[in-house]
Structure 1
Amino acid sequence: MRYRLMTATSAVVFGLMTACHAAGIDQDGANAIRDNLNSLLPEDIAKSGVVAVNPAGARYEITYDLAKLLSKFNPADLAINGLKPISMFATPRDDGLWNVEGDSSLNISGHFKAPDKKRTDFTYSIASMVHTWVFDPAISYFRSGDFSAKDIKVTTATDTEQVDASFGDMKYKLTSADGASADRIDFAANGTLTAFAEQVHGKDMPPIRITADTIDFEAKVASLPAKQLRDIVIFAVDHADEKQMSKESEERLKGMLRAAFPLVSSFEEVITLNNLAVTSAAGGGSAQSFAYRLAVNGPSNATQFDVAMNAANITFDSPMIPAAYSAFVPQAVDVQLAIPGMDFAAFGDEFMKLDLTKPPEGREDAGKKAVERLFRNGRFVIDIPKVSAKSGVYDIDISARVESRIDVGKQDYALQASVLARDYDKTIAAVQELAKTNPELNQASFGMLMVKGFAKTDPDGRQRWDVTVTPDGTVSVNGQQIKGPDKPE
């Protein structure tokens, strides 16, 4: 019951799957939409009149009263005040699609209890929400659309902590195109949030404030089986309360999964915070930009997962960092990681062998085997194309490739890495200068001088160390062995 209740707010979208009278807007068409919406809700909720649909000139007005969904909750566990009915308008088009639009606002407050029984009070307000979409009944999702919101404020508070967050404006745009094959769709989305501010404070901590002029985001996914995924979601919701899956349901679910595979051919998400700043009683810091990227691409039998983070023009202002050490604070950081060669085709084949009619605790061995096939017999690789950091006294670039196993109990580890440092003598000199007031750094300075002895010089003048670690424990730097193999256990 609770899973179906959670999906009630999205029922407006699914309701437009019904075949309505495109030639004319009438009460029969309105009733068809209403009945389709209600079919997605628990019977008692549907009877409460959560959804109302009426003809409104050349379109249908769909009104849903989410406050009525709260009737099944104990007010001590969940209460929302100010939740007013929201309307949107749907207009059938000659091409079978629908135009959906709305203009509303939000100003609610309330409380809820988390699983640990602790109470959280909240307030949410949005001065304006305007949206226009093109809805496709064939996939029960939007083909395109624009959404904008103004003056967004959120507050959550427990007995120990309070969080206040706000945005000035938000803009979001969705587009789509037919995929490379039938029943596949490419989606792209982008948007911007302005004047972001968040403050966190509690009984045992001073306030911490985070701000950014803008937060830009974009995402794209290629060859998404939207219709098949819709069917899987509906199946999962319909069977969420079943303690054990029947053989018939198992065969149906596996059939839908086969039809949906592979889920995507590529996915990418990028989030960038511009003029980010953090302030607190202990000091603060800023960055002209901070960006995060997540990507998945490649064929299903050789998929690569990429993640990257970078920050530019970093500054720190804190009494916790002595002035003598300020030159060592990085001014720019770039981190890139990748996991290549994941075999989702083999993983899917192994997953299809699972007996889903058995309890989860009886499927550990089969699940482990599926993961091993995902990582080609339990071996995985982490590529590190780049890790770089730069300040006034150092400029370091690191690239590496690590091979190991997912079963940590077995010692099977190998590493190939390259470390390049520009103006390494300048870095050593800076550490030696610090050692004059902090003698403990003399050991670090001596170690850096020893490391320099293993370095090679690249044509651009940088110092290079190519490091190799073999599975038997042997360590070599620039071809020179500095540690032999480990002794047998």
Structure 2
Amino acid sequence: MRYRLITTASAVVLGLMTAVHGAEITQDGANAIRDNLNNLLPEDIAKSGVVAVNPAGTRYEIIYDLAKLLSKVNPADFTIGGLKPISMFATPQDNGLWNVEGDNSLNVSGHFKGPDQKRTEFTYSIASLAYTSIFDPAISYFRSGDFSAKDIKATSTTDTEQVNVSVGDVKYKLTSADSAAGRMDFAVNGTLTAFAEQVSGKEMPPVHITADAIDFDARVYSLPAKELRDIVVFALDHAEEKQISKENEEKLKAMLRDAFPLISSLEETIDLHNLAVTGAAGSGGAKSFGYRLTIDGPSDATRLGVAMNAADVTFDSPMVPAAYSAFLPQAVDVQFGIPDMDFAAFGDEFMKLDLTKSREEGEDAGKKAVERLFRDGKFVMDFPKISAKSGVYDIDMSAKVESRLDAGKDEYALQASILARDYDKTIAAVQELAKANPELNQASFGMLMVKGFAKTDPDGRQRWDVTVTPDGSVTVNGQQIKGPDKPE
């Protein structure tokens, strides 16, 4: 069932690949588009009449009656009601591109059984889903477009849990540009407003999550759009085959070679505004919460980076005594990444895989490809910045951790720099808490010992440069505080 839905969705954009463009709108042209779309579908689905194409003035109307996909599905496993035909309009342009536009609504409900055979009831509704876009048959994708949706609601209910989600409006824009060597750059950005989610269950009080707005921006550079189109079509054509033939393996590998490297860089950011979470345990939130993903660098030295930050953080819970509230962070910034990944070597090793072998044999060979992804069997993670700030502390840290992928080896190395502003203020706050909780006296004593190893930076912050070597030695600011581990 999933394969059929994916295939049909792909056919929505692939079907215009060979249709006649820049010509008079005729029934013959409509039939040609319909036949092209049907050729991309499994035979039994094509015969069901799921696709219809009609001349509509200066454009073609393409109608997808997705309800016909469900005619042979066991209603005990999956049912859906209210599924209306979806229509879009395609207008051929003189330059070979197509203008594709539509405005549909959705209001469906039904149920399905998951792999565990548990029944899930669902409802989905969208008051309006509108778009105007430019489709390029050469890449079987949109070159640009403006998309919007209004009043989105969804519910999911099982015998133990219920989830309700609603969104006010969604608006986003897609743009593209030609890149070097026949590749393309794509960018999408937009905003989602009035997000709300509630999760509740038999053994869980309701939890509410809301955000006034969610902004998103994503960019990918030097994407081999045509080559990826060929790979997608190939995968759809052979999706139901249990094992790939040697001939098809060579075809697939040739297409992958043409597509490598898949991108030169990628950026993705998501920003939530006035995020709030409430539940039985208390309430909290942040004026802003951000997430960023980056992939950049040459294929033989690629870095994956992730960053998350929150500002004006609040938390109110009876589980946190008032005396400890000052220790809750008001701002957090976490950045980490995996540098120097060799995707060129990974691709070379992947091409050696025998895809015609069993899954178990393929997994063993795939492990070798993963090992070559990391140079000399070393897995490195860097932390350019980890910071937290409250009324009683202000801490910044950067670090680099190395470990090995070799089986049976658990050695690691660490280099870290920790800086604390107003560290005496932090110690004093812990000592004040210790008056009511004597167990914290040991913590404050430990903090005083740590202060003895600190150096003072020109800006007045306390600094600790920590090094841990693979033999277990530990030094702080050049002073060894632990020697090598004894050999086993």
Q: TM-score, with normalisation over the residues of structure 1? A: 0.98
How big is each residue's C-alpha offset from its partner over 1:137-186, in whole Å with a ceiling of 9 and x where there is no partner?
A: 0000000000111111011100011001101110011000001222x010
The residue number in structure 2 matching 1:163 is: 163
The residue number in structure 2 matching 1:428 is: 427
Query: Do 1:38 and 1:46's aligned partners in 2 also have CA atoms closer than 8 Å?
Result: yes
The residue number in structure 1 matching 2:251 is: 252
What is the CA–CA distance in structure 2 between the aligned matches of 1:364 and 1:208, rounded to whole Å?
A: 40
Which region of structure 1 is more displaced relative to structure 2, 360-369 or 201-210? Answer: 360-369
What is the CA–CA distance in structure 2 between the aligned matches of 1:5 and 1:433, rounded to whole Å?
A: 63
Matched, 1:394 2:393: yes
Q: CA deviation at 1:2?
A: 5.0
The residue number in structure 2 matching 1:81 is: 81
Query: Do 2:121 and 2:157's aligned partners in 1 also have CA atoms closer than 8 Å?
Result: yes
Query: Do 1:126 and 1:149's aligned partners in 2 also have CA atoms closer than 8 Å?
Result: yes
Matched, 1:275 2:274: yes
Query: Do 2:289 and 2:310's aligned partners in 1 also have CA atoms closer than 8 Å?
Result: yes
The residue number in structure 2 matching 1:124 is: 124
What is the CA–CA distance in structure 1 between the aligned matches of 2:48 and 2:367, rounded to whole Å?
A: 46
SS at match of 1:11: helix
Query: Do 1:104 and 1:128's aligned partners in 2 also have CA atoms closer than 8 Å?
Result: yes
What is the CA–CA distance in structure 2 between the aligned matches of 1:157 and 1:408, rounded to whole Å?
A: 44
The residue number in structure 2 matching 1:405 is: 404
Matched, 1:207 2:202: no
SS at match of 1:427: helix
Q: CA deviation at 1:423?
A: 0.2
What is the CA–CA distance in structure 1 between the aligned matches of 2:78 and 2:443, rounded to whole Å?
A: 57
Query: Do 1:303 and 1:342's aligned partners in 2 also have CA atoms closer than 8 Å?
Result: yes
Q: CA deviation at 1:405?
A: 1.1
The residue number in structure 2 matching 1:20 is: 20
SS at match of 1:106: strand
Q: CA deviation at 1:12?
A: 1.7
- Within 5 Å, give how 1:44-193 maps onto structure 2: 44-182=44-182, 184-193=183-192
What is the CA–CA distance in structure 2 between the aligned matches of 1:124 and 1:244, rounded to whole Å?
A: 37
The one-letter code sitting in structure 2 at the alignment partner of 1:265 is S
Matched, 1:40 2:40: yes
The verdict on how the C-alpha distance between 1:476 and 1:253 changes in structure 2, with shifts beyond 3 A counting, is same
How big is each residue's C-alpha offset from its partner over 1:46-101, in whole Å with a ceiling of 9 and x where there is no partner?
A: 11100000110000000110000112311111111000011110000000000000
The one-letter code sitting in structure 2 at the alignment partner of 1:486 is D
The one-letter code sitting in structure 2 at the alignment partner of 1:409 is G
Query: Do 1:131 and 1:147's aligned partners in 2 also have CA atoms closer than 8 Å?
Result: yes
Query: Do 1:5 and 1:42's aligned partners in 2 also have CA atoms closer than 8 Å?
Result: no
Query: Do 2:311 and 2:331's aligned partners in 1 also have CA atoms closer than 8 Å?
Result: yes
Q: CA deviation at 1:4?
A: 3.8
The one-letter code sitting in structure 2 at the alignment partner of 1:236 is A
Q: CA deviation at 1:371?
A: 1.2
SS at match of 2:75: coil
What is the CA–CA distance in structure 2 between the aligned matches of 1:4 and 1:252, rounded to whole Å?
A: 24
How big is each residue's C-alpha offset from its partner over 1:212-239, in whole Å with a ceiling of 9 and x where there is no partner?
A: 0001101000001111111111111222
Q: CA deviation at 1:408?
A: 5.5
How big is each residue's C-alpha offset from its partner over 1:407-447, in whole Å with a ceiling of 9 and x where there is no partner?
A: 35213311100000000000000000000111111110000
What is the CA–CA distance in structure 1 between the aligned matches of 2:376 and 2:351, rounded to whole Å?
A: 18
The verdict on how the C-alpha distance between 1:237 and 1:57 changes in structure 2, with shifts beyond 3 A counting, is same
The residue number in structure 1 matching 2:224 is: 225
Q: How many residues are matched?
A: 488
What is the CA–CA distance in structure 1 between the aligned matches of 2:401 and 2:335, rounded to whole Å?
A: 14
What is the CA–CA distance in structure 2 between the aligned matches of 1:123 and 1:430, rounded to whole Å?
A: 51
Unaligned runs of 5+ in 2: none
SS at match of 1:363: helix
What is the CA–CA distance in structure 2 between the aligned matches of 1:124 and 1:417, rounded to whole Å?
A: 49
The one-letter code sitting in structure 1 at the alignment partner of 2:305 is D
Q: TM-score, with normalisation over the residues of structure 2? A: 0.99
Q: CA deviation at 1:3?
A: 1.9
What is the CA–CA distance in structure 1 between the aligned matches of 2:435 and 2:312, rounded to whole Å?
A: 29
Identity between Structure 1 and Structure 2 (%)? 80
Q: Which runs of 4+ in 1 moved over 3 A?
A: none
How big is each residue's C-alpha offset from its partner over 1:95-133, in whole Å with a ceiling of 9 and x where there is no partner?
A: 000000001111110111111111111111111111001
The residue number in structure 2 matching 1:332 is: 331
The one-letter code sitting in structure 1 at the alignment partner of 2:220 is V
Query: Do 1:371 and 1:378's aligned partners in 2 also have CA atoms closer than 8 Å?
Result: no
SS at match of 2:484: coil
What is the CA–CA distance in structure 2 between the aligned matches of 1:80 and 1:58, rounded to whole Å?
A: 35
SS at match of 1:107: strand
Query: Do 1:9 and 1:66's aligned partners in 2 also have CA atoms closer than 8 Å?
Result: no
What is the CA–CA distance in structure 2 between the aligned matches of 1:203 and 1:226, rounded to whole Å?
A: 47
The one-letter code sitting in structure 2 at the alignment partner of 1:292 is Y
